[in-house]
Structure 1
Amino acid sequence: MKEVLKFLTDNPTFYIATVDGDKPRVRPFGFVMEYEGRLYFCTNNQKNVYRQLKENPYFEVSTASPDGKWMRLTGKAVFNSTYAAKAKALEVMPSLKKMYSADDTIFEVFYVEDGEAVFCSMTGESKTVKL
């Protein structure tokens, strides 16, 4: 998991894909953290991405580094919007405090269950990491 977290934090704009009905939807994200041994992301429950993940929790994350390497992470979103998890997110990324608080009812955090990351490069290298 540390390798996945490092790649995402080193390349801080990554893209999360969900399904909306029968259509793919992709949007940029920029928050990730490790909490209680799991990889977490956050969102707002007023957004389409939240609704889409509640309807179909399977998602994929993709990002690339400037040196031509990329990673795809697949998994299932499990929401754990406890006060403690939200407080940790705000500690990890203090700029989120401009939008949310740990008591905020629209602030949601979720972790990756059954995650698998595939690291690739233009040279054909490939490595799979289970979360």
Structure 2
Amino acid sequence: MPETTMNEDITLRDVADYLDSIGIQFMATIGLDGKPKVRPMQYMVLEDGKLWFCTNAKKEVYAELQANPSLELCGCKLEENEIQTPWIRFSAEAVFEERQDIRDAIIEKSAIVHELYKDMRNNPIFKVFYLKNIDGWMTNLGHVKGLEQKAEFARPVHFRF
């Protein structure tokens, strides 16, 4: 990766707000067959200083994260000025926790989850998890070989939480 800066000003709230602004991210896991798997995933809520997500215990992603909690998440929303489009990528570990307050917050935030679980808030297949050991980058699409020396492009920002 090109010259980088470690920006102490970036907060977990900044990361959460960016994830909210792009809507859907893509999460990579190690499949039960040992091969990488990538799927759309949506960040849900920031609570207790943690980024929370949800899934269904019957889905492969749940089994994969139980077997190997390591994941990577990547996302961006193409802007009108493609070169300045910001993007994010980070690695983390999933930690599943039984938290009804988090389930309720997610049900209230997400129309899809609301439709699935509004009458089954305690359904044992509705699983929530947060991310720990987050280590990643925020940068822009213009920061590529041949363009990285342009002063108007923000430098990649490394963050850890």
With normalisation by structure 1, the TM-score equals: 0.92
- Greater Rg over alpha carbons, structure: 2
CA contact 2:43–2:51 (8 Å) conserved in 1: no
The answer for the alignment partner of 1:32 in structure 2 is 44
Alignment size in residue pairs: 131
User: Which blocks of at least 5 consecutive residues in structure 2 are unaligned?
Assistant: 1-11, 80-84, 144-154
2:157 to 106, 124, 127: 127
TM-align CA RMSD? 1.4
User: Could you say what secondary structure the match of 2:38 adopts?
Assistant: strand
**In structure 2, how many angstroms separate the alpha carbons of the residues matched to 1:10 and 1:88?**
18
Q: Which runs of 4+ in 1 moved over 4 A?
A: none
The answer for the alignment partner of 2:114 in structure 1 is 97
Q: Which has the higher strand share?
A: 1
2:65 to 53, 62, 71: 53
Structure 1 segment 1-131 matched on structure 2, within 5 A: 1-20=12-31, 21-67=33-79, 68-100=85-117, 101-124=120-143, 125-131=155-161
User: Could you say what secondary structure the match of 2:58 adopts?
Assistant: coil
CA contact 1:31–1:93 (8 Å) conserved in 2: no
Per-residue deviation at 1:35? 1.2
With normalisation by structure 2, the TM-score equals: 0.76
User: Which blocks of at least 5 consecutive residues in structure 1 are unaligned?
Assistant: none
Identity of aligned residues (%): 26
